[in-house]
Amino acid sequence: MLTEGQDYVLVPQGVWEKLYEWYKGGPSLPRKMILQGFYHRKYNVEVYPLCLKLIDSRDDSQSIIWLSRKASVTELFQKVCALRGIERDKACIWDYFNKRKHARLIVSNKSLEEANLQMDQDILLEEVDGCHSSRFGMDSTGNELALVSLEPSRSPLTIARGPTLSNGHSSGYRSNLYPGSSLSSGLTDMDDGFDAYNSVRKGEKGGLAGLQNLGNTCFMNSALQCLVHTPPLVEYFLKDYSDEINTENPLGMHGELALAFGELLRKSWSSGRTAIAPRVFKGKLARFAPQFSGYNQHDSQELLAFLLDGLHEDLNRVKQKPYIEMKDSDGRPDEEVAAECWKNHKARNDSVIVDVCQGQYKSTLVCPVCSKISITFDPFMYLSLPLPSTITRTMTVTVFYGDGSCLPMPYAVSVLKNGFCKDLLLALGTACCLKSDESLVLAEVYGNKIYRFLESPLEPLISIKDDERIVAFRFKKKGMGKTKLVIFHRWQEKFTTDYLRIGTGLFGTPLVTYLGEDQPSGANIETAVSKVLSPFKRTYPSAKAHIGKENGFLSDGLDEQCGSSDAMSVANAELEVTSSTDLSLPLLLIDDSFMNFKAFKKDTFFESGKILRVVLDWTDKEQELYDANYLKDIPEIHKAGFAAKKTRQEAISLSSCLDAFLMEEPLGPDDMWYCPRCKEHRQAIKKLDLWMLPEIIVFHLKRFTYGRYLKNKIDTFVNFPIHNLDLSKYVMNKDGQSCVYELYAISNHYGGLGGGHYTAYAKLVDENRWYHFDDSHVSPVNESDVKTSAAYLLFYKRVRTESKVETGEASHSHFIS
């Protein structure tokens, strides 16, 4: 659970050697680069090598072996033989996972990852006499090993049509295990009380097997339990699906992911209450999706998205995808366009996942300039719903006038705690009576510099901490030219005593304005600076301006930390001062590193479209003319008080989350839409509507919010119905299908970001009873207890009407409630 950049950093070997030479210390922790991925292969640093516990059967001694998971089985043999002093031809090594023999490791170039060896698992060393061992064929207790392998065969045929024995041959009783398979002898049910893994007792129900945690794999176990308890998928994978495996799809995994999932599902429904170690599935996951490899915690929703998409491509009935050119809606009826889009989608994508899990939504984009309307109908596999917050926070922001028309003024506004910068801008605009032809630009001030401009309206407000200082610059929209000018302030006294320490004299809040000229000059800069300084002119100039905290603002007291720090190698700053400058204000041009300073004249011209930065040296003259106190000590976002009370988050409903998801909103600046009429990218207004609902609908509650500087988890309780979720008011297409759904599974997340723990609730529909799946542990749970604030993924199935069940329209009648 170590986090790179927080708990450790990765450095090249040469850097480590220099650090060690300078500071000593240690120990050295060398790590290898390993090649990962299937389609997009890339090198990653293997921070956690594979740790194996070697048990020597000759003396029951135990040793620890560290190897890369990309190391070969041959390398493992070499290391074991050297460590234990045994000849290669006399060494027999077993995969001894859970203290039970699973497979004998054969010397080969197969990697340890491909051999499904897991972190901290046991391997068993036996000494063989020739080709036989004294304990060969026996487990740790001396009993004969069962002939059935606990992991599926590598053969696709046997995985899809039933398990195989450890020697690779199908057993005689396999032909009556799976009804509908090509190997079936005509029996419709499995032998009573006997299954492929010899572990179900008579009368014991399937679907109650836990999944062993293989090292932070609770996220995977949680998502898998929800899927293996999805009724249509259970019925599909318990039958013969081998004919639908698409091994030629370049977007798929050659059918291997579907085979591994199908085998896991079959084990889950045939192993009683015996926990399953999903090692083969995890191995496939690591191979095809290296982002889930290793032993870090991941997001169950991200895994679910990958898994559903991967299963679809592995089971896609379309072998050759046709090229289809999409047409614009061009004012045609929605029904016609939607049917055309779905037909085109099905021509390229046709699988059980599409049949069961995919719906269709209507997406409407409106150009804010020419009002061009674009309507498309797109498929969806799940819906990611935002959680509207009911908790507010007070934020104090100081508004400066970019045109120098008024003095700065702090405003305290109330906004949603989990809102965005667009909400803050809206509240500020109302508070300061912003006109329709004006605009606000947010910025964070740190160390008397602009630390960052908050340009994205979708930047989460949680990224702004209470002790930070935020300002807003107010401009006329038509006055926001191409070139942004940032003006910094510096005391002249410190400048004159030691000009090399150029950054140490900065004070106050930088001012921001715009230069409207196509090619701004030094004269334009001087005019703009004079204009924004005009509100600070003293009515009665004094001989010496009194520098103090007279405006009632709270003391600053911040120390510089960021990359543009005053303390940055200031001794290397270069200063070019020209006595022939003709400016009436002491201005110097500076770069963004605050390392290079340059004088300029009125007739100096600058390139348009870039950010220009100047520093104003406050001499005695400037201090007499202007009151600098207005620039000093702007208030923090929120000053915590002793009597501050925590506001409790009120519960929100699933319907309010849906309303927020379907709300009209502008696209972000990083997600611009190309308007075919304007021939330019525009920040269009987007509106989503549900058009067609699938048999299985998954709601992803967006509890994790990611800003540029901060991540957060929302623990709000979402009140969702277990029965009779009626979505009819949200569906535009009235096609006669039932819009009533029933909950059957939940993926839960407990704890905070970067860790925590995942579990699942799942309902055995035939039994009409809920169970709690916590890795290996499975226990019954009351239906009323499954609604918690930990709910992260909600799985609903369509409830069909009685008339449709009777007419045979419901093919899954034994799962219907």
Write down the mean pLDDT value for the chain: 79
Nearest CA to 760 among 777, 770, 774, 780?
A: 774
Residue 246 has pLDDT above 90, yes or no: yes
Residue 802 has a pLDDT of 56
pLDDT attached to residue 632: 85
Helix axes 279-288, 256-268, angle to 10 degrees: 160
Could you tell me the CA-to-CA distances from 504 to 36, 111, 494, 565, 623 in Å, in that order? 49, 58, 7, 10, 18
pLDDT band at 490 (very low <50, low <70, confident <90, very high): confident
Between these two residues, 391 and 571, which has the higher pLDDT value?
391
723 is catalytic: no
Q: Which of 261-270, 502-511, 711-720, 799-808 has the lowest mean pLDDT?
A: 799-808
Share of the chain above pLDDT 70, in %: 79
* Higher-scoring residue by pLDDT: 48, 236: 236
The residue from 92, 102, 218, 254 that is catalytic is 218
Q: What is each CA distance from 88 to 136, 362, 650, 771, in whole angstroms? A: 17, 65, 67, 49
Asked whether the whole model's pTM tops 0.85, one would answer: no
What pLDDT sits at residue 550? 38
Distance between CA atoms of residues 269 and 224, nearest Å? 13
pLDDT band at 571 (very low <50, low <70, confident <90, very high): very low
Least confident of 37-46, 194-203, 552-561: 552-561
Residue 693 has pLDDT above 60, yes or no: yes
Q: Is the pLDDT of residue 467 over 50?
A: yes
Of 365 and 504, more confident: 365
Dump pLDDT digits (tens) for 400-431. Answer: 998 888 899 999 998 988 788 888 999 999 99
Q: What's the confidence (pLDDT) of residue 130?
A: 52
pLDDT > 70? residue 168 = no
For residue 460, pLDDT over 60 is answered with: yes
Q: Which domains does the chain have, with CATH numbers?
A: 50-127 (3.10.20.90), 392-493+505-538+585-631 (3.10.20.90)
- Give first-to-last CA distance, the chain, whole Å: 42
Predicted pLDDT of residue 349 = 95
Residue of 16 and 271 predicted with greater confidence: 16
> Which residue of the set 51, 345, 638, 757 is catalytic?
757
Average confidence (pLDDT) over 201-213: 77
Residue 448 to residue 407: CA distance in whole angstroms? 19
185, with CB counted inside 10 A (0-12, 13-18, 19+), is: exposed
The pLDDT value recorded for residue 642 is 40
Min mean pLDDT across 302-306, 489-493, 534-538, 609-613 is at 489-493
**pLDDT score for 305:** 94
Query: Is there a catalytic annotation at residue 218?
Result: yes
Q: Residue 160's pLDDT is what?
A: 40
Q: Is pLDDT of 580 > 70?
A: no
